[in-house]
Structure 1
């Protein structure tokens, strides 16, 4: 039996655009749950901390030990320190996990703590299914450990319903040796990127590794470019019907993407290769740039191009809108807590203790040790001789004078609109959509 697609970067959401975000009706959800259970894959505690525990942490990976070692290690350490509050770690592939959480909310059987896409979390908080975490944040100065942007996106109607699971830092990895060989400086502006693309293409080098097949979400660097054309200041009006996605500023960006495509920026097999194959083409030294994020740092480090790799937030635009010094460093999909936890003093105490530990400096160090950026203001110390790629990502994300949008553009719209955004970029990159058609296709999904 076919199973639901797995998120490409196994240790991340990632990026909430990695897989379809499902908001299911009760009937559809129940049918899907029966199907998943029949496959024997509804719940998997492989790699979990134990078969039982006072509270359960339910994740979007069926085997956290190998697919999300940072979370697995955090749970192991917490259980050692709090044997009376032991956490059971379980998980399912992302789509099945979303389905299961939908059903659990409807039946009142949500796990105590769980990962979920923000679109579903926002639905749950409206139904009163999620705990307001504000009182927990108020203890021990925990709230002060977060930059406001890491919390604001998970606050609705004054309810702090979620906390950032991991940070989402995206952009372009680049091969220093390839650029040096062809006497190309790391670009800063879009015009410099186009010039680099033309030079690399003429030399027979793939400029930017991209893979659209079964991976339409893999356009992270282009979502950041969207913010450089005023997305953050426009999207609320667009969603409210006061403006359109097919505005002149966004169209100008898509015209630039078309210019990149015509300059030969993307591999000829882009539409038939997957994101994972695009990563492999970069790690084997066949491409100069890779559109990806921090979740690939460790893999790239261990590859033959690790010592030659740097990280870049992407090009600025002379005809852009607003601040051009933007690097995508935002919270990914959140951790949330079942509202029913408040009814059990022991479970509430355990949830509170785990949250306090996860976001402590000790907890954040575990994230950093597993090549994940901290989501608090914790300042990591990274051995640049052993983790030069990860260090490059952190350095780019903290460049003086640069700031981050509050959220990745696809995380603040419906699943249908997010999917249309991915397809719009790949359509222009692959030559199947004109810039005008691309922005109109996205606008059609906005009700």
Structure 2
């Protein structure tokens, strides 16, 4: 699963201790050495997971394949949990000791670009042919002041995983609209079956389905205004969206222990055949594929709303937080060439197929090769993005805001799901976070 999603929890609000911050920056500085063994050029890659090999197998596999294909380049991979990672990068940016290539939130990247710490990747991406293979929406999302400051790390393809057997066993068909989903929830609740598996404990970020609901209630048209303050989060459209979440809650759609259940426990609930839907993304495809529900698994982009605002036939299939390159890399020709080679490999057909082989969708225009048996679950998600008329937003809404605002968005949604906040109070919670920026 994309690491930034796993780590968007309330712990981000806790300040990182000075000792930890100093240790982290020393670690970043240490791994920024140009020295390589046997004449190799060394580049550093800093990620948002403490154990990249196990937590992000796709990135790890790409690095290994790249080093095999480019024996003259050594990629030193390091990582920390998101909060510590971002804190370390903030300090490193001040001292100009950033890693060569690193994962970072878009908002942080824009600050670093403004501080003249990031490379404009436009020439590199254009020279290597990467730029023309990226969706226009991705390029636009990672462009500021005419500079392309990042490239997509992985894709965020999110929605609801479906257990078709549960629906069929209860005389239900696949829903299309919100009213359909509401009827499914009422029917399943009457039979003691969970409709949507979610988990708020230590994982308040796990509300991906409801983030795309925001787009079905006009988020894309409101985004610029929300960022510059001319638009308010507590607007009638968003409040109406929260009201629909409350309707689902009152229909018994969520597990009774949603407040104490973690995201992983929510996944397990679905894998054990105890929930009709799972709120998640493509990163769950591998676990579903290996479970007993695999033969009955499907992927759904979510309900359409008759009272929504704007486009309804959408799926959240966007780039996650970007990979960026420190500006100082351009001062070393050998290092710059190595970074170019790494990016060219990452976004090559071979690199993109490695993503696919590790349960991730491609982020370029690459047509993936999918095993119809061994990757049947992932295929259902990718197929959903290719249905006639389906479009995608430019970005997942929470990725456009600072961490405090993103956390408020998650808390507002789970606040309604847990009946702790009314729809109006939920919208006001996010607006307060925006006002505090």
Smaller-chain TM-score bracket: over 0.9
2:106 to 111, 118, 138: 118
Cα displacement string for residues 178-200 of structure 1 (whole angstroms, at most 9, x for unaligned residues): 11101111111000000000011
Match of 1:241 in 2: 229
Match of 1:156 in 2: 144
Structure 1 gaps, min length 5: 1-8
Provide the aligned length of Structure 1 versus Structure 2: 431
Match of 2:305 in 1: 317
CA distance in 2, matches of 1:430, 1:420: 15
1:414 to 402, 412, 418: 402
Which stretch of the first structure deviates more once superposed, 143-152 or 12-21?
12-21
2:168 to 152, 158, 180: 180
Match of 2:5 in 1: 14
Q: Is the Cα–Cα contact under 8 Å of residues 41 and 334 in structure 2 kept in the other structure?
A: no
Match of 1:357 in 2: 345
2:189 to 201, 214, 219: 201
Match of 2:382 in 1: 394
Deviation at 1:238, TM superposition (A): 2.4
Work out whether 1:77 is the aligned partner of 2:65: yes
Deviation at 1:387, TM superposition (A): 1.1
CA distance in 2, matches of 1:107, 1:22: 24
Q: Is the Cα–Cα contact under 8 Å of residues 319 and 363 in structure 2 kept in the other structure?
A: yes
Alignment of 1:420-435 (within 5 A): 420-435=408-423
Write out the 4+ residue segments of structure 1 that deviate beyond 4 Å after TM superposition: 15-24, 28-31, 35-38, 40-44, 49-53
Q: Is the Cα–Cα contact under 8 Å of residues 20 and 415 in structure 1 kept in the other structure?
A: no
Deviation at 1:29, TM superposition (A): 7.2
Deviation at 1:37, TM superposition (A): 8.6
Which stretch of the first structure deviates more once superposed, 89-98 or 400-409?
89-98
CA RMSD of the aligned region, Å?
A: 2.5
Match of 1:6 in 2: none
Secondary structure at the residue paired with 1:83?
coil
Q: Is the Cα–Cα contact under 8 Å of residues 17 and 411 in structure 1 kept in the other structure?
A: no
Structure 2 gaps, min length 5: none
CA distance in 2, matches of 1:23, 1:166: 27
Alignment of 1:29-40 (within 5 A): 30-34=18-22
Deviation at 1:23, TM superposition (A): 12
Q: Is the Cα–Cα contact under 8 Å of residues 209 and 278 in structure 1 kept in the other structure?
A: yes
CA distance in 2, matches of 1:427, 1:137: 42
Q: Report the TM-score, using the length of structure 1 for normalisation.
A: 0.91
1:404 to 392, 397, 420: 392
Which stretch of the first structure deviates more once superposed, 360-369 or 411-420?
411-420
Q: Is the Cα–Cα contact under 8 Å of residues 43 and 62 in structure 1 kept in the other structure?
A: no
Match of 1:106 in 2: 94
Secondary structure at the residue paired with 1:444?
helix
CA distance in 2, matches of 1:206, 1:113: 43
Match of 1:57 in 2: 45
Secondary structure at the residue paired with 2:72?
helix
Change (3 A) 1:65 1:188: same
Deviation at 1:204, TM superposition (A): 0.9
Deviation at 1:226, TM superposition (A): 0.7
Match of 1:132 in 2: 120
Match of 2:56 in 1: 68
1:226 to 204, 214, 237: 214
Q: Report the TM-score, using the length of structure 2 for normalisation.
A: 0.93
Q: Is the Cα–Cα contact under 8 Å of residues 206 and 288 in structure 1 kept in the other structure?
A: yes
Secondary structure at the residue paired with 1:335?
strand
Work out whether 1:335 is the aligned partner of 2:345: no
Match of 2:198 in 1: 210
CA distance in 1, matches of 2:30, 2:411: 32
CA distance in 2, matches of 1:213, 1:50: 46
